[in-house]
Amino acid sequence: MAHPAPQDPLKDVRLFVAEHVGSLMEFWGFKRVLGRIWTVLYLSERPLTAAEIGRRLALSPSAISVALAELKRWGVVHEAVVLSTRTRRAQSWRAESDVWGMVSNVLRQRELPMVRRTEEVIRTALEALADAPQDAETRHLRQAMRSLLLLAGAGRAMLETLLSTGRASAEALKKFPA
Amino acid sequence: MAHPAPQDPLKDVRLFVAEHVGSLMEFWGFKRVLGRIWTVLYLSERPLTAAEIGRRLALSPSAISVALAELKRWGVVHEAVVLSTRTRRAQSWRAESDVWGMVSNVLRQRELPMVRRTEEVIRTALEALADAPQDAETRHLRQAMRSLLLLAGAGRAMLETLLSTGRASAEALKKFPA
DNA sequence: GTATTGTTTCAAAAACTTGTGAAATATTCA
DNA sequence: TGAATATTTCACAAGTTTTTGAAACAATAC
């Protein structure tokens, strides 16, 4: 999969996949390491301790600690109930596997606020233009910003529909510019 | 909008909006400056030269040059026909405004390949496991990777449907893990 | 209670990204 | 063609993000 002599295929395979999911997640605006950790947990038969994760991904305890805290905030990993059978006292972690749950969570908590903020920004900008002179330039600017506002509204509606019904249509977007 | 004395409201408003669209675009995985430039062009009544853009956004000619090249590659800005009426010899630029066109372009050229690459990676990983021992750990790993493969497939199907019909449903995602 | 191991915090190092300035190249006008 | 201006390229500087290592803190076993 990678280096000269792949002596442990399982390990290699897990890292290979984790690395790629890491890229995917980075692409979606998360830190690469979050995707790597989620994947290692998802691919593991049993919950792993922070130390085990660190060993598999060659990361320091502090890096793991920070990353796990963030993953937990997103509800993407969970603390596993500790099977206290003689086990040392280590917390262990498992991956959430409800993908739509995780995705919709992020859409709700991160993308939706962002679209709303966009509408807000454009409204503020339009207001700031309230007593600007009525020349062609201002008229054009106002018109363009009204278009952007409609666009942001269409985007928000699309997201909200997707979140509540699980379906979305790009029709409104296609009509832009209105 | 911003600083102590906003002496030119138009300028301020444009920068304010451009700044925010910049953040949006950054969020979607593009460089912030690409969003800022597109916005300044979109809000402008007429095409602008690189120098004018640079002046408005306080960017060096080299930064503008690089950014415009990238925007052009994405089909998000166009070289305006030069109204050669005594005009100096400067290229000028206008913003594409077909938003769905731009979005679907990016989905097709960037996100779709990424999902396909994901399927490919997981398939390769599964193959690499072909002659691994048949213990519980391997079985679990294989099973988990098959799930991820289905997930990636569902994602790809969703994207492809969205691109060809303008509609998408998260149903398949909701069924995960299969 | 104390020793041991695990976890968190945080300042600073390392890695990475983005923007600049200078030089090279290209274009326009006369 | 040559002068003037515009554009591109690229090494490096500035800024940002991510990871680390040390120390503080917490939890458990004995």
- Give per-residue pLDDT as tens, A47-66: 999 999 999 999 999 999 99
Cβ atoms of A10 and B138 within 8 Å: the answer is yes
Q: Which helix (H) or strand (E) holds B40?
A: helix B32-43
| pLDDT higher than threshold 50 for residue A85 | no
Assess whether A89 (CB) lies less than 7 A from strand C: yes
CA to C1' distance (Å), from B121 to C16: 25
Across chain A, what does the average pLDDT equal? 91
Residue B158: predicted pLDDT: 97
Give me the mean pLDDT over the A71-84 stretch.
Answer: 85
Residue B81: predicted pLDDT: 72
| pLDDT higher than threshold 60 for residue A1 | no
Residue B82: predicted pLDDT: 64
Residue B106: predicted pLDDT: 97
The list of chain B residues with pLDDT below 50 reads 1-5, 85-86
* Of the candidates A120, A118, A124, A109, the residue with the CA atom closest to the CA atom of residue A76: A109
CA B67 to chain centre: 13
CA to C1' distance (Å), from B89 to D26: 70
A26 vs B: CB within 8 A? no
pLDDT class for A3, splitting at 50, 70, 90?
very low
CA to C1' distance (Å), from A59 to C14: 14
| pLDDT higher than threshold 90 for residue A87 | no
Sequence-separated (6 or more) residues with CB below 8 Å from residue A86: none
Beta carbon pairs, A and B, within 8 Å: 151
- % pLDDT > 90, chain B: 82
Tokens in use for B52? 């004018």
pLDDT in tens, A89-133: 678 999 999 999 999 999 999 999 999 999 999 999 999 999 888
Tokens in use for B59? 């960017």
Nucleotides of C under 7 A from a protein CB: 5-10, 17-23, 27-29
Which range has the worst mean pLDDT, A7-11, A14-18, A24-28?
A: A7-11
B102 vs A: CB within 8 A? no
A13: distance to nearest CA of chain B, Å? 6
Residue B177: predicted pLDDT: 83
* Of the candidates A25, A43, A27, A45, the residue with the CA atom closest to the CA atom of residue A35: A25
Assess whether B85 (CB) lies less than 7 A from strand C: no
What residues in B contact A166, CB-CB < 8 Å?
Answer: 169-171, 174
Sequence-separated (6 or more) residues with CB below 8 Å from residue B3: none
Nucleotides of D under 7 A from a protein CB: 5-10, 17-23, 27-29
Residue A47: predicted pLDDT: 94
DSSP code of B132?
A: S
- Interatomic CA distance for residues B171 and A49, integer angstroms: 34
C-alpha neighbours within 13 Å on the C-beta side of residue B175: 11
B107: distance to nearest CA of chain A, Å? 13
B90 vs A: CB within 8 A? no
- Interatomic CA distance for residues B169 and B162, integer angstroms: 9
Q: Judging by DSSP bridges, how do beta strands B77-79 and B48-49 pair with one another?
A: unpaired
* Of the candidates A10, A19, A4, the residue with the CA atom closest to the CA atom of residue A58: A19
Cβ atoms of B61 and B51 within 8 Å: the answer is yes
pLDDT class for A141, splitting at 50, 70, 90?
very high
Residue A83: predicted pLDDT: 56
| pLDDT higher than threshold 90 for residue A9 | no
Residue B83: predicted pLDDT: 57
